[in-house]
Amino acid sequence: MRVEGTTDTTAPDFLRHWKLRERPFEGTWDTRYFFASREHDEALHRLLYLVEENTMNLGLLSGEIGCGKTLTRAVFSERLDPRKYRVVTLENSGFSFGDLLSAVLRRMDPALASGGTKFERCERLEGAIRRLHAEGRHLVLLLDEAQDMPAATLHELRWITNFNGGGVALLTVVLIGQPELRPLVAGDAAIDQRISLRFHLRPMTVDDVPSYLTHRLRTAGHGDGGLFTPLAASRLHEASGGVPRQVNRLAKLALEHAWLAGSPRVDVDAVSAVVRDLERHQAIPA
């Protein structure tokens, strides 16, 4: 089995064996690989409703580590018509409100970001948002890793959620983060009462995993995506808890294990061998 982090000189043989164009289980945010499980599809549709309604200016998407929040966010951003929406994404939100303001302004127009007090930057942001509104466009601000946001920053967000024009919200803010984000928001009544939509993204079910594997394999070039046996898919769900990132990790290693063994498919023994190997190494004292 290839050691992670080393140069992969085996890719052509590996891909040829499985009849793939590319590796299907890499940890990249490639929206082609988005799988619309019931949970992920509902999260996406709720977010789209949030911005299309134009009267609900603050939403919250939470989920466990590795459950696909960032990929869902990326697909959501892609599906917003740029003629109607201006999307600004901050991948990390654990900063002061002043720093967040500067980062948003820099992404909108670098000339707006330099200098000034927090009040002056808020004024510049409101002016930029109103200009967008006059063009028929709506600002959507996506704040990822929001569980790291200082309480003071979260509280000050209410300043920009007050921007409106004739009863219509001029921007939509979506807080995205791990489960700790929910009690953080609940602890600030001024923000909590402004949340119009909440959704907690849960892991995939055992029934989702076979379709998930098939989707990723087809996207990577396999004809029918049927490389994992039903028992192998079930074992993957059991070992990963249905968390997409963990499914990817185990499926990637199981594919390599089965390839090295010369197997035509990935069976439950290949998955179990990978799981045992990982458990053995994790049990070694640091």
What is d(CA 263, CA 138) in angstroms, rounded to the nearest whole number? 53
Give the model's pLDDT for residue 57: 83
- Contact by Cβ (8 Å): 275, 252: no
Backbone CA torsion sign across 64, 68, 73, 79: negative
Question: Residue 259 phi/psi, 5° resolution?
Answer: -65, -45
Q: What is the pLDDT of residues 231-268, one digit of tens each?
A: 999 999 999 999 999 999 999 999 999 999 999 999 99
What is the CB-side half-sphere exposure of residue 51 using CA atoms within 13 A? 25
Span of 44-53, 165-174, 199-208 with lowest mean pLDDT: 165-174
Give the model's pLDDT for residue 132: 93
38-201 classified as CATH 3.40.50.1820: no
pLDDT at residue 114 tops 90:
no
Q: CATH fold of 204-281, please?
A: Helicase, Ruva Protein; domain 3 (1.10.8)
Domain boundaries, the chain: 38-201, 204-281
